[in-house]
Structure 1
Amino acid sequence: MKIAIAGGTGFVGNELTDYLAENGNEVLILTRSKKESDKSGVRFVEWMTDGAAPEKELEGIDAFINLAGKSINDRWTEENKKEIVESRIKTTREVYRIIDSLQKKPEVHVNASAVGIYGTSETETFTEESAPGATDFLSETVMKWEQEAAEIGKLGVRTVFVRFGIILGDKGALPAILLPYKLFAGGTVGSGTQWMSWVHIHDVVRLIHFLIKDSTIEGPVNAVSPNPVQMKEFGKTAAKVMNRPHWIPAPGFALKLALGERSILVLEGQRVIPKAAAENGFTFTFPILEDALSDLLKSK
């Protein structure tokens, strides 16, 4: 298959590019800077710069994956929050423009999203059938992003919203979460009862590939392990795998002072189940947290 990826140089994009190329696909990564790829089956296409016309090189693509958007891991100042939203809207509109201009439309468009759309809860369980929460900045942002991406479906292109949970890998949130344990200072974060819907990076890229190939799937798909855990359990499991103590708690008020509004990412959560993936026959390589962490930390 010939697959275009916006955001192909980020955490998920890098892993996805390698996986797709290794499985015999041709990958075109949209980038703002001209560069040559050192990977077989991968090349870069300039976009969102003056004079760029990526559609000339994307004719004949089978799939378009949009992972582009400003990181949510920076402090949520009003300026950063505005950029987080606008970056997603702007890039998604450019994806729409490109697809609309193609003589032959791709078979599928996969747009990144997040389980944050459901809002936070310690008691509810969320599936793709659950209504959006729209109770905080993250859920509102994801709602706006999906609404924009849904316009591409009106072009006759099967559109999937892959809603990421906390992705565990060499980059992303995991290194920061594990740092206290490496320093022998790990412990329960906040109340410890907040849910963490996590997923191994390997299962993320496998799921995206699965969604591209299965022509019957569209709409939201939760990219999370079928076994979410509460934060206290996550910490105890990490301590066990790393052979470190789990003893110094990180109180919620301290994290709120340190992280500001962004503390919602660690102090609140949601219990999310991958119902659509399961019903369509996708199986996770790492459905159990201890196995996932053991795999990720085996070479550390």
Structure 2
Amino acid sequence: MKVGLTGANGYIGQNINHALRLMGVEVIAIDRHLLYGHHLKLAKELANTHTIINLAGAPILKRWTKKNKTIIYNSRVSTTRNLCKAINALPREKRPTNFISASAIGIYRPAIRHDETSSKYANHFAARVIDDWEDTLAELPDTVRKTIFRIGVVLGKDSQFIQQVLPVFKLGLGGKLGSGSQAFPFIHIDDLVSAFTQAITDDSFFGIYNLVAPQQINNKDLTKALGKQLNRPTLIPVPGFLLHFIFGQASTLILENPVVIPRRLKNKGFNFQHPTIENCLENILSNN
């Protein structure tokens, strides 16, 4: 089996790539320059693949300047549109039959509960990007099975979040962000990889899935769990105004989060290896 993978150099991409190769899958890492290039050149790279896994996207947690907005938007929407155009250009017998795309829980309106049936979307730049990103998949042929994973905060030993907060908490300088009451939808990298790899061969995967752990926690809960695991105090909060000063409008992704339920995965009987924040952190920090 041959799988085309965009975003192969990112944290998620590296982990999925490693897992697929262990399974004996031939992985074609699609160069980002091809994603922005002529669709016919891209089509040659995609020919005779079974599945495309689309993880391409520039970091979104940075100040939403005009320049950054263009980069964030094009790295998701324009590249995905080019992928769809390339697939459509292939003869039917050479097209992939399966397209799995990353998305994000940032599409949802903050502070309320959402399963996959929810259409209560946030009204900020990131949500509009995500909505357009997902809508682009409608350009794929009906013969291509489409699966979209709306991903929460990814936790793993080398994940960006853990790498950023761990040094601070180890020094005993950690604390809640803003009020701490905002939801913290998370997923362990092992469970994320498991969902993506299952979706390759399991034809019952289709449509939108919330890829988050079944436990619902807030930022205070996360802070408490991190402090307990590291045996460190967590008494120094980071005020919301400071995060707004650093990230501007993008601070809403830290200070205002939706409560997200993985209803479709639970209904499928998906086996979460790390269903709670305590289990996640114990696994991640056991060798730190």
Counterparts of residues 64-75 of structure 1 (less than 5 Å): 64-75=52-63
- For the pair 1:243 / 2:231, whether they are aligned, the reply is yes
1:39 matched to which residue of 2?
A: none
Aligned Cα RMSD in Å?
1.8
Which deviations, in whole Å up to 9, do the C-alpha atoms of 1:208-231 show, x marking residues without a partner?
Answer: 111222212211111100002110
CA distance in 1, matches of 2:244, 2:36: 36
Is the 1:167–1:173 Cα contact (8 Å) retained in structure 2? Answer: yes
- For the pair 1:167 / 2:154, whether they are aligned, the reply is yes
- For the pair 1:185 / 2:163, whether they are aligned, the reply is no
CA distance in 2, matches of 1:183, 1:111: 38
Q: How many residues are aligned here?
A: 285
Is the 2:154–2:188 Cα contact (8 Å) retained in structure 1? Answer: yes
CA change 1:106–1:287 in 2 (3 A) is same
Matched residue SS, 1:229: coil
Matched residue SS, 1:173: helix
Aligned mate of 2:64, from 76, 80, 92 = 76
Aligned mate of 2:143, from 148, 156, 161 = 156
Aligned AA (1:147): D
2:20 matched to which residue of 1?
A: 20
CA distance in 1, matches of 2:202, 2:54: 18
1:29 matched to which residue of 2?
A: 29
Aligned mate of 1:113, from 103, 110, 114 = 103
- For the pair 1:230 / 2:218, whether they are aligned, the reply is yes
Which deviations, in whole Å up to 9, do the C-alpha atoms of 1:190-216 show, x marking residues without a partner?
Answer: 111110000001111111111222212
Is the 1:100–1:155 Cα contact (8 Å) retained in structure 2? Answer: no
TM-score by length of 1: 0.90
CA distance in 2, matches of 1:117, 1:278: 21
CA distance in 2, matches of 1:156, 1:52: 20
Is the 2:105–2:210 Cα contact (8 Å) retained in structure 1? Answer: yes
Which deviations, in whole Å up to 9, do the C-alpha atoms of 1:108-162 show, x marking residues without a partner?
Answer: 10111001111211xx21100111414111111110111112222x342111111
2:182 matched to which residue of 1?
A: 194
Matched residue SS, 2:71: helix
CA distance in 1, matches of 2:17, 2:86: 20
Is the 2:39–2:83 Cα contact (8 Å) retained in structure 1? Answer: no
Aligned mate of 1:101, from 89, 93, 100 = 89
CA distance in 2, matches of 1:102, 1:237: 50
CA distance in 2, matches of 1:51, 1:281: 39
Is the 1:47–1:53 Cα contact (8 Å) retained in structure 2? Answer: no
Is the 2:61–2:247 Cα contact (8 Å) retained in structure 1? Answer: no
CA change 1:74–1:235 in 2 (3 A) is same
CA distance in 1, matches of 2:47, 2:64: 38
Which fold has the larger relative contact order, with Cα–Cα distance below 8 Å and residues 6 or more apart in sequence? 2
Which sections of structure 2, spanning at least 5 residues, go unmatched? none
Deviation at 1:32, TM superposition (A): 4.0
Is the 1:69–1:84 Cα contact (8 Å) retained in structure 2? Answer: yes
Aligned AA (1:24): G
Deviation at 1:270, TM superposition (A): 1.1
- For the pair 1:206 / 2:194, whether they are aligned, the reply is yes
Identity %: 35
Counterparts of residues 126-165 of structure 1 (less than 5 Å): 126-152=114-140, 154-165=141-152
Aligned AA (1:149): L
Aligned mate of 2:273, from 257, 260, 285 = 285
CA change 1:51–1:63 in 2 (3 A) is closer
Is the 1:167–1:199 Cα contact (8 Å) retained in structure 2? Answer: yes
Matched residue SS, 2:9: coil
CA change 1:57–1:281 in 2 (3 A) is same
By percentage of residues, which structure has more helix?
A: 2
Is the 1:210–1:282 Cα contact (8 Å) retained in structure 2? Answer: no
Deviation at 1:52, TM superposition (A): 7.6
